[in-house]
């Protein structure tokens, strides 16, 4: 963990040094938005990361761009001829096939397409590991279709809309269309508002500031992954940019007494709040820090029919950097995550205190420290490497694991019966892409190691407290490592 955190911090420091040394060059540039639009330049190769980045830069600026393939102009025929069309619609997307094979059973979503962790060892009566059998899968469910709408000026702001659909389903059932992006943006010279469904604000889409693995969620459960309805605001002062957002859970939900549900956030009456400050040179070189806040109200009534309003407040903190040195791209992030299972990350919350007469409960955060680095050489043959680590650092207060037969720990892996007994997760993957636009082929080998152990916590049975471990604050001891290899292949055609 220390080595990966150190590597992440060194990456952030190096990129920050590059950004600051380029300050004089930046002042001489004519920049009309926080991040330049790479679609204004003709890329030598279009990789998957460049495709995503092109899509995201439409959120960063308000410039009209010429469509690559298809343009549809909608005009009022009775209006006088205009120099520019009132509305331009640009269609783009890709067809993707992704197949994989795992060396053991896994904990995953979308029929294990979205890998979270190798399954823990479960021994049969003969001492053999039941979960040692591998897994095989294939899907087209990250095929994308995007419509971009460039509208007229409103309130002196450029207007833009985007809809992106894919057959990713609801994380359980595939081959069902769902929106990952559906938003409207108003863009002024140095400020913008975004309204709609978009990536979680903690995901740094600009400049490829996320793991550029063949599938977008290839950093889970170390890097977050989620999309949700939100209002996002950006404001720029020279090289300094502020971003603030408020969001509501939808498909990606928090666990709680009734399972995964957005109800806990809705009942709290407080949206997820996110704030960031960035020091920006251009779309490929910037550093930043951020804070994310979530408030949940797990219950309205206790098991003994008493009204309750106890909530859990969960701030998370992170720092990130993106840099491009010639053809070498690097991105990095370090984070302290509290109660972020709604983003497919390790962490969560638990009961810390209970009134046995009324069943009213208080809650504490389960925390994880995470760090990752992603590197890629952008050539026709494009190698890349992702390395990430997440460590359970426990809770600030005592943790009650169960009350009689009811589990009172709420984490993502708890839905698989893991009970937050994961001490650490390590994930690294080497990838190799071949780019021959519009075709891209990619191969990836992923290695994961997860430490399963025993949780230091309190179990209440018939009003008696049974303590596991020396300090019941949610850390894990006596962990047993479980390893997994995943070999994957992906093929894309972009249009």
Q: What is the DSSP code string of 24-42?
A: HHHHTS---SSS--GGGS-
3-state helix, strand, coil in the chain (%, to 5): 10, 50, 35
Q: Name the range with the highest mean pLDDT among 40-49, 135-144, 164-173.
A: 135-144
- Cα 166 → chain centroid: 17
Residues 200 and 61: their CA atoms lie apart, in Å, by 18
Residue 130 · residue 124 · CB < 8 Å: yes
Residues 384 and 47: their CA atoms lie apart, in Å, by 12
Q: Which tokens hold the place of 387?
A: 């390395």
Q: What is the CATH number of the domain that holds 328?
A: 2.40.160.10
Q: Which tokens hold the place of 384?
A: 């890349």
Q: Which tokens hold the place of 179?
A: 């929106």
Q: Which tokens hold the place of 425?
A: 């997760």
Q: Which tokens hold the place of 200?
A: 């979680």
Residues 486 and 145: their CA atoms lie apart, in Å, by 28
DSSP 86: S
Q: Which pLDDT value is given to residue 311?
A: 97
Residue 330 · residue 15 · CB < 8 Å: yes
313 burial via Cβ count (<10 Å: 0-12, 13-18, 19+):
middle
Residues 297 and 266: their CA atoms lie apart, in Å, by 8
Residues 375 and 52: their CA atoms lie apart, in Å, by 16
Residues 227 and 223: their CA atoms lie apart, in Å, by 14
The average confidence (pLDDT) of the chain is: 85
Question: Which residues does 259 contact at the CB level (< 8 Å), separation at least 6?
Answer: 415
Residue 462 vs residues 56, 257, 323, 371: alpha-carbon distances, Å:
54, 20, 57, 41
Residue 480 pLDDT grade (very low, low, confident, very high; cuts 50, 70, 90): very high
Residue 446 pLDDT grade (very low, low, confident, very high; cuts 50, 70, 90): very high
Q: Which pLDDT value is given to residue 85?
A: 58
| 156-176: burial string, b at 16+ Cβ within 10 Å, e else | ebbbbbbbbbbbbbebeebee
Residue 464 vs residues 204, 354, 456, 461, 469: alpha-carbon distances, Å:
47, 12, 17, 5, 16
Q: What is the pTM of this model?
A: 0.85
pLDDT at 126 over 70: yes
Q: pLDDT digit string (tens) for 55-82?
A: 444 444 444 433 333 322 333 333 334 4
pLDDT at 310 over 90: yes
pLDDT at 422 over 70: yes
Q: Which pLDDT value is given to residue 462?
A: 80
Q: Which tokens hold the place of 87?
A: 């509305």
Residue 225 · residue 219 · CB < 8 Å: yes
Q: pLDDT digit string (tens) for 259-283?
A: 999 999 999 999 999 999 999 999 8
Residue 34 pLDDT grade (very low, low, confident, very high; cuts 50, 70, 90): very low
Q: pLDDT digit string (tens) for 176-209?
A: 788 889 999 999 999 999 999 999 999 998 889 9
CA-wise closest residue to 379 among 420, 430, 436: 436
Q: Which domain holds residue 390?
A: 2-494
Task: Report strand pairing: 457-461 vs 400-403.
Answer: parallel
Query: Among residues of the chain, what percentage have pLDDT more than 90?
Result: 69
Biggest alpha carbon–alpha carbon distance for the chain? 83
How many structural domains compose the chain? 1
Q: pLDDT digit string (tens) for 223-260?
A: 999 999 999 999 999 999 999 999 999 999 999 999 99
Q: Which pLDDT value is given to residue 4?
A: 63
Q: Which pLDDT value is given to residue 75?
A: 33
Residues 194 and 231: their CA atoms lie apart, in Å, by 6
pLDDT at 101 over 50: yes
Q: Which pLDDT value is given to residue 9?
A: 64
- Beta strand extents in 271-380 (DSSP E only): 272-282, 285-296, 312-325, 328-338, 348-354, 361-377
Give ∠ CA 167-170-172 in degrees, rounded to 5.
105
DSSP 305: S
């Amino acid at each position: 963990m220390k080595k990966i955190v150190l590597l992440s911090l060194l990456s952030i420091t190096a990129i920050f040094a590059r950004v600051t040394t380029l300050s004089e060059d930046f002042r001489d540039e004519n920049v009309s938005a926080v991040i330049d639009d790479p679609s204004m330049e003709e890329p030598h190769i279009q990789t998957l990361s460049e495709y995503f980045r092109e899509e995201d830069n439409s959120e960063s600026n308000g410039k009209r761009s010429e469509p690559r393939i298809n343009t549809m102009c909608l005009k009022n025929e009775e209006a006088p001829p205009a120099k520019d069309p009132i509305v331009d619609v640009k269609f783009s997307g890709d067809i993707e096939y992704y197949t994989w094979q795992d060396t053991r059973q896994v904990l995953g979503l979308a029929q294990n397409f979205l890998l979270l962790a190798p399954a823990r060892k479960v021994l049969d009566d003969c001492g053999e590991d039941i979960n040692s059998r591998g897994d095989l899968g294939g899907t087209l469910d990250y095929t994308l279709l995007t419509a971009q709408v460039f509208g007229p000026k409103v309130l002196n702001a450029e207007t833009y809309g985007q809809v992106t659909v894919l057959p990713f389903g609801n994380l359980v059932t595939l081959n069902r269309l769902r929106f990952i992006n559906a938003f409207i943006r108003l863009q002024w010279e140095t400020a913008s508002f975004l309204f709609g469904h978009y990536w979680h604000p903690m995901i740094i889409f600009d400049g490829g500031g996320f793991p550029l693995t063949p599938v977008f969620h290839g950093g889970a459960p170390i890097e977050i992954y989620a999309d949700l309805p939100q209002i996002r605001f950006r404001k720029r002062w020279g090289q300094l940019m502020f971003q603030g957002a408020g969001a509501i859970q939808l498909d990606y939900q928090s666990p709680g007494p009734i399972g995964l549900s957005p109800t806990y956030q809705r009942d709290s009456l407080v949206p997820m709040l996110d704030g960031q400050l960035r020091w920006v040179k251009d779309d490929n070189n910037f550093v930043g820090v951020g804070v994310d806040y979530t408030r949940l109200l797990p219950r309205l009534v206790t098991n003994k029919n008493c009204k309750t309003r106890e909530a859990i407040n969960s701030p998370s903190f992170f720092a990130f950097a993106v840099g491009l040195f010639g053809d070498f791209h690097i991105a990095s992030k370090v984070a302290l995550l509290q109660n972020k299972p709604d983003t497919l990350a390790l962490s969560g919350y638990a009961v810390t205190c209970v009134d046995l007469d009324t069943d009213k409960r208080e809650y504490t955060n389960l925390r994880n420290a995470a760090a990752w680095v992603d590197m890629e050489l952008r050539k026709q043959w494009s190698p890349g490497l992702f390395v990430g680590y997440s460590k359970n650092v426990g809770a600030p207060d005592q943790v009650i694991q169960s009350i009689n037969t009811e589990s009172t720990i709420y984490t993502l892996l708890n839905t698989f019966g893991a009970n937050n007994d994961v001490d650490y997760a390590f994930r690294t993957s080497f990838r190799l892409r071949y780019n021959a636009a519009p075709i891209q082929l990619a191969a990836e080998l992923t290695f994961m190691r997860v430490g399963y152990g025993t949780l230091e916590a309190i179990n209440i049975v018939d009003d008696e407290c049974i303590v596991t471990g020396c300090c019941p604050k949610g850390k894990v001891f006596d962990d047993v490592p479980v390893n997994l290899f995943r070999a994957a292949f992906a093929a894309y055609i972009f249009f």
